[in-house]
Structure formats: C-alpha cells, structure tokens
A and B are shown apart, each in its own frame.
Chain A
Amino acid sequence: MKISVTALFVLLTILQGAAQLPEPEIIMDKSRELSIAGTISANITLTITEKNGSTRNRTFAMSTKSFPEDVGKRYIKFLSPPDVKGTAMLIIDNLKTADEMWIYLPALKKTRRIVSSEKGKSFMNSEFTNADMSSPPVSDFVHKHTTQSGSNNQFVIESIPVDEDKADEYGYSKKVSYIDKVNYQVQKMEIYNFENVIYKIIEIKGIHNLPEGKFIVSDMLSSNLRTNRKSEIKMTNIAEGAKVDDSVFSIQNLER
C-alpha cells in the first residue's frame, strides 16, 4: 500500500511537470525558426570516417541567403580534394516543393540539374541526410515530450513521421531531439530505425550564435551505429549578414 501511494505521488509529479511544459510543436517550431539565418558565408570541412578508420575530407566554401516565400538558396564551391576542385553547386531549398540542385562539373564543362525529393537521402555521400542539413517542416511529424523532458534543463522531444510514406521519405521511424530549455538550441538527435533501435546519433559540437537569439550549427558529428561510419561538418570563417549579391545564387555564376 505504501509503495502504491509513493508510485502515485511520483506519477502525479511527472504529469504535473509535463503539464507545465510548452507544447512540443511550439518548441520544435521555435527551435526551427531560430536556426534559420539570413545570409551566411563560411568555409566548410566535411570529414567522412570509414569504419576501418580511413578518412576522406572535402572542403568547400558556402554562402546561404534567404529569399522571399520561404526559399533558401545555398551556393557551394569545392576547394578540395584536387580532382573535384572547382565543382560548384547551387541548392534551392523550397519549403513546399522539392529541393532543386544544380551542379557544375569543371572537368566535363557541364552544368546539370539534379532532382531529388528524398529527404532521407545522403548529403554528399556522408552520414548526414538532406533533412539533417535543413530544417524539415514541423507538420511532417507528430511530436511529444518524453518522460525525461524538462529535466536537466532540456526538452526531450520525440518526433514520429505522420504516416508510413513520410517515414519512408525520411528513412526512420522516430527521432528524439534534445533541445536546450533556455535558447532552444538542439544539442543532440537520436535517430531510430524501423526496429525502433537507435541507429544514428547526431551531436551538435559547436554553435555559432547570431543576434536576436538566432544561431547556426557550426560543428556537428553524425555517427551511424549500424555502419560505424562517422561524418563531421565543421564551419569556419563564418560571416553572418555579409552582403552577398543575389547573382551569386544563379546558374550562370556556377560556371564562373
């Protein structure tokens, strides 16, 4: 009887605590909104570490700019390795329609458009997906607080794709995000496979703070527990708000 009373007390405390937390959708939406910056320029190093320990590095210069109607554009130019140096990409992130990608291949002197709407697809052959590189719409998931949410100064929110098709599109069954209670910055994400087992962990190792509470992730590490491959993206020379001409984000600019 004593145990039952204690258990009831603990349960009530948890429910009371949960009841005081903001709605998970509001948290996710706010975190997403704060992570969308305006114009940014940076140098990026992508390091892919194979399970045997061998690594491959790619460095590129990137500029991003927000355009009207929720359109974000990214211009990427490869700096190394030598055989892909000069390769340039233009990525247009459309919120409502499929993303568009253009790539210029200097050795072939060709620009080609790549069409892909699969958010679960790998980003540049790394452990990151396109969805990891952008901020997917909050409405694609059903969000809820986990029992840990609220403790350790963190929101811990479980996001489940709204239907099977979305699950296929993103390539996972569940994502658990650890979000700072104060600044709404994501600290870690755990991605679950369809057996409901964690297969990928994304750790946010560096944040570059911007004015008005906004931020960009400057260092993140994705570890695939199934393949034992790791990929890390590091940003350096971050310049926020720098004036970048709209013409940079054009197909014509790719071949320059």
Chain B
Amino acid sequence: MAEVKLEKITKKFGDFVAVDAIDLKVEDGAFTVLVGPSGCGKTTTLRMIAGLEEATDGEIRIGERVVNQVPPKDRDIAMVFQNYALYPHMDVYNNMAFGLKLRKMPKAEIGRRVNEVADLLGITEKLKSKPRELSGGQRQRVAVGRAIVRDPKVFLFDEPLSNLDAKLRVQMRTELEQLHHKLKTTTVYVTHDQVEAMTLGSKIAVMKDGVIHQYDSPQSTYDHPANRFVAGFIGSPAMNFLQARANSENGRINLVGKEFRLDIPNPQEMDIQGEVVLGIRPENFSGPVSDGENLVEAKVLVTEPLGNALLVYADCGGEQIVANLDPHQTVEIDSTIKLVVDINTVHLFDRGSENTIL
C-alpha cells in the first residue's frame, strides 16, 4: 500500500508535449481514474508511473520513494493491459507464476498464491489452459490475476475492459469494483469511457491535451464541472450547450437565447453580463408543456425511447439539444415543443476561456 504522487510531470516526444506539467496525488488505497479522449496523455501518464516511459521532467513518487530512475520491476507495481498481454506460450498457471518465479519465491508459496488468486477470480479450472483457449473475459481475469498475485503496492490498469463486449464489460466492471473493495490496493485506472470512470473511481482526473482539467470525486465532477470540456465529457448523453446573452441584476440572472428566456437564481450576486454559454444536462429538461416560465422551444428531430427514458433530439435555434424525458408519453417528430428547464441546475461558461462561471 502506498500513495502515488506526481509533481510537475512532463512528457515530450520530440516537440510534441504529451503530458504537460501535471500534478496528481492518489491517496493510499484510493481508486483514481484518468479519463479523457484519445491522445489526451492519460496512457502516457500511466506508463510513466509504471516506468515504461521516462518522464521528461518532474517527479514521481510511490510511497515515500522517488521512482523516476527506478526500473519497472523494482517499483512494486503491477499493470493490466488493454490487450491483456498474456504470455501466449504459457498456461494460465505459469502466466500468473512468472513474476513470482523471477522473484525467486519458493515453489510451494507460488502454488499457494496462484491457487488462492485463481479461486478469487473463478479461473481455477482454467489453470492448465493456454491463453488462446480462453474467452475474452477469462483472459481479462488472468491478466488481473497476474497483477494481484504479486501483491504490489499499486495497480495500474490501461483500458482493461475496452476489448470486451458490452455485457461482459459491465460485469467485469462490477468485479473490479468488488476486488478493489476487498484488496484496497492503490489503483490508477485509465479509460476513455466516462461511465467506467464514474462508476469505478473514488476520484477521477479528467484529462485533455496533456493537462488535468479537473480532479475530483465523480459526483462533484458531474455537479460542478470546472469548464465546458469537463461538463461535456462527463455525463451521457452529454450536456447541452446553448449560446446566450446574460444580464444579472437583483440576485437573478436573465438569460436570453434564440428560442428561450430563462431567469435563474444568482445567490452570490455575481456580476455576469454579455455573451455566455449555457449548459443544461439532458435530465434537467422536463415536459413538454404548453405554457409556463423558463421554457426552451425546439423542433423535434429524432426520438429514442429507451424504456426507462425518452431521449428527444431537437433543434433549438440552429443548435442541437437532447432532452431526457418521461418515457410514458409520445413526442411527435417535426413538432415544435416547449421544455421546462430546471433553473437550479444550469451551468454557465465563459465563451472565450470556456471556464465555469456558475
């Protein structure tokens, strides 16, 4: 067990800055998820923690030790790769035992540990099988088992579920959660899937262009995104963004757009004037209604009944929005509808810097 601490970590590939002076502290026993679009530097960051990539600048600590110059094998970490990276010529037992054998652990102890982990992961019957004889989910379990069996200080996961089909992915996600609950090993997990990030992470770091835009608990990231990028990346379907003109007075903010006029509370009496970007999450729409206050008017393009929700994609003055509505109703395509906005949950972003204003 140990905390992982990155200080001003930078990675350059030639002139390209993959990771730009990031700071990150993963508390002992925490499950931190690095999430972001492809090319955001999350995998590079993970590989630097693993020691597979050398940091151009900055300091990496695992526990109390600075590990920049420590080879991967001496960092006391274990990593699970996206394509499992099992040793194809070894059976499951030897895949898991390989690291222990290299560490000159007594044979009996290796056997005990491998069997224990195989039991934990439900792959005991497969110990004599070669990786190619296993299904995707079983291979993933072996890869996880190979990491657990070493009992490392830190687990590193590099998109471990993205090669699995949707159903299995959800199942393995739950298993990983349970596993972390049981083992309580410090974990850094990389994914581009924000649902995985939200469900697994005790904290999530949202990355883009080599920079961490927000590092917070999943709920807090969802409720209080630091900027427009985070707001749009976290949450599915994504947050709607509408251009608006703001005018604040008397503890209220007036927002006027092409097809709406909102009057939202401004308890801190912030002075917000001029062009802003309004952010509304799909579930913060309700309706449609025939009349009322704080309405957004839009023309329905497509509807997607999901059973537990009705997603309505609509055109709002040239900008596309999506609303998550009560499924027990029908919304006609091409009709013009009025949706009520929950004014206590809207977000405002600066149009230039895209940082959160409200």
Q: Do A and B bind each other?
A: no
Query: Which residues of B are in contact with A by a Cβ distance under 8 Å?
Result: none
